Chain A
Amino acid sequence: MRRHFRILDFALASLRRRRLKNWAIVAVYAFTVTIVSSVLLLTNAIRQEAALLLVGAPELTVQRVVGGRHAPIAVEVTETIATLPGVVEAQPRYWGYTYDAVTDSTITVIGAGPGSAELEMVEGRLPEHSTECAVGAGVAAMWGAEVGGEVILIDASTTGVLYEVVGTFAAPSDILTNDLVVMTGDEAALFLGLPEGWATDLAVRIANPAEVDTIATKIKRAFPDSRPITRSEVLRTYDAVFHWRSGMMLAMLSGGLIAFAILAWDKATGLSAEERKEIGILKAVGWDTGDVLELKMWEGVVISVTSLLLGLIAALIHVFLLGAPLLTPVLRGWSVLFPELHPVPHIDPYLLVSIAFLTVVPYVAATVAPSWKAAITDPDSVVRG
């Protein structure tokens, strides 16, 4: 045991002799671990948040499709759907978008169903009259709106309509409500220019989750121009968007991994003349091949464990304490109204083990492999180069 500690001592002294180069490697290595881990932690957290939140979404949303595109659906369709066995409730949804030219932002307008005036996540209340609205935190901040204030929105006939703000959504709900303006259902339909008796789509609540697919098939059969979207499809969409194989993960993860591969490749392609000389001298003074390989393994372990720990600590602080400021510009894209990210921590131990395995093992292997070649060569020829 003492022998291993001696070799570790020697490895640390050897790293210390080339401290500038090794600290530079640790900095790049730790930064790569930070970026890769941040992406994995953030997307995993958002994916988990979406899965937990959207469980409250309707079991089915029923759209009407005209010319391959989403079109308004007749409200009377709800009467037929409501008679299907297993359906608890079918309600029209009135929602759409409005563009605010002053701030260059697109706002989502949504009609609240009856009986939803009081919600804990709303400071104030939801609208009860056609002249009232509730706004998300992003919209409120953009317009400087607060409860009791007024906002003007441009409706479908390009007329400015004045609304009293009776509620604002609380910050923890930003990820759901940041760009929302909530009106009464009838007012939202009027504002969005939906013809009377027509809705954006329908929300269908079903008692038994096992019956959802059957009911969707029945709706599709009764209304061939409809497109039922099940809640499991909604959840699968978010699972796919934030899965490691999706666009974002692939773009950022592959960038990070390529950077790491270049670093490891640089190590694996050969030793510096100084390192070769050091191995030759060690062999000449009596070290055997096993000792030299152990020395190089310790050097790899010290660098990779140091980088891994620094990178993981930085990633955890970056994502869960600071709200991922380095990744927000990438996630934000063209969005004007982007919620302030407060990812709900969800750390899968499997994720941490994967990061450790993907980074430490290849680096240690890349450090040991070229040393083995030098260690089995005759010391005299190694020292002479």
Chain B
Amino acid sequence: MSRSRSFGAFTAVGLATVAALVLWANSEGRRWQREDLPRLRLLVTRLDLTDLALWTEARYTRHPSQTDLFSAFQDFPAAPEHFPSGSITGPPPALRGTGETSGVRVGRP
């Protein structure tokens, strides 16, 4: 077999492996959506959960969506940052200067 044919065969096997892994992954994703997702969503609804339990070292990493508006220094001014998750989690939308927190208004009623 010529070298170009060997390379063609290698590429074909590689592409077939990638395709097989992608098909397997997508079928696993569909199985999760069919079997686990309804039960997990019920859990979220019953316990009124709002965040993923990924980072437990600080309030603003455990519940990024419920965090204070100035969460980076919430422990005390110039508090040391919790690296690296503090740099992994981006600032919440409310801090991006778009005024996304609902109903904010100026002045006292």
Interface residues of A (CB under 8 A from B): 5, 8-9, 12-13, 16, 46, 49-50, 52-58, 61, 63, 65, 68-70, 91, 93, 97, 105-108, 110, 112-113, 115-116, 119-121, 136, 138, 169, 172-180, 182, 201, 203, 213, 216-221, 224, 227-230, 233-234, 236-238, 240-241, 243, 245-248, 251, 302, 305-306, 309-310, 312-313, 316-317, 320, 330-339, 344-347, 352
A333 touches B65 (CB 8 A): no
A-side contacts of B46, CB under 8 Å: 112-113, 115-116, 119
A238 touches B65 (CB 8 A): yes
Query: Which residues B23-41 have CB closer than 8 A to chain A?
Result: 24-26, 28-29, 32-33, 36-37, 39-41
B52 touches A57 (CB 8 A): no
B7 touches A302 (CB 8 A): yes
Asked if B18 is an interface residue, CB under 8 A from chain A, the answer is yes
B-side contacts of A180, CB under 8 Å: 47, 53
Which of B7, B32, B55, B109 is in CB contact (< 8 Å) with A335?
A: B55
Closest 5 CB pairs of A and B: A220-B103, A333-B85, A309-B14, A345-B25, A56-B44
How far apart are the CA atoms of A129 and B88 in the complex, in Å? 39
A347 touches B68 (CB 8 A): no
A-side contacts of B108, CB under 8 Å: 224
A345 touches B105 (CB 8 A): no
Which of A233, A335, A336 is in CB contact (< 8 Å) with B65?
A: A233
Query: Which residues B66-103 have CB closer than 8 A to chain A?
Result: 66, 68-70, 74, 82-94, 100-103
A106 touches B62 (CB 8 A): yes
B69 touches A68 (CB 8 A): yes
How far apart are the CA atoms of A5 and B7 in the complex, in Å? 11
How far apart are the CA atoms of A339 and B74 in the complex, in Å? 25
B53 touches A333 (CB 8 A): no
B-side contacts of A241, CB under 8 Å: 64, 88-90
> At the interface, is chain B mostly helix, strand, loop or mixed?
helix
B56 touches A313 (CB 8 A): no
How far is the CB of A2 from the nearest CB of chain B, in Å?
A: 10
- Further contacts, 6 of them, CB under 8 A, given A68-B69, A108-B62: A119-B39, A224-B109, A227-B69, A333-B57, A336-B57, A346-B25
Which of A49, A334, A347 is in CB contact (< 8 Å) with B57?
A: A334
How far apart are the CA atoms of A55 and B37 in the complex, in Å? 11
How far apart are the CA atoms of A346 and B69 in the complex, in Å? 32
How far is the CB of B31 from the nearest CB of chain A, in Å?
A: 9
Number of A-B contacts (CB under 8 A): 265
A5 touches B2 (CB 8 A): yes
A-side contacts of B93, CB under 8 Å: 233, 236-237, 240
A175 touches B54 (CB 8 A): yes
- A5-B4, A344-B28 known; A333 vs B83 contact (CB < 8 Å): yes
Asked if B9 is an interface residue, CB under 8 A from chain A, the answer is no
B-side contacts of A238, CB under 8 Å: 52, 64-65
A-side contacts of B104, CB under 8 Å: 220
A-side contacts of B68, CB under 8 Å: 65, 68-70
How far is the CB of B39 from the nearest CB of chain A, in Å?
A: 5
How far is the CB of A187 from the nearest CB of chain B, in Å?
A: 15
How far apart are the CA atoms of A230 and B54 in the complex, in Å? 21
Which of B11, B37, B90 is in CB contact (< 8 Å) with A305?
A: B11
How far apart are the CA atoms of A173 and B32 in the complex, in Å? 12
B-side contacts of A248, CB under 8 Å: 87-88
How far apart are the CA atoms of A174 and B56 in the complex, in Å? 13
- A241-B64, A334-B85 known; A12 vs B53 contact (CB < 8 Å): no
B-side contacts of A172, CB under 8 Å: 36, 39-40
How far is the CB of A79 from the nearest CB of chain B, in Å?
A: 18
B-side contacts of A352, CB under 8 Å: 18, 22
B-side contacts of A46, CB under 8 Å: 52, 54
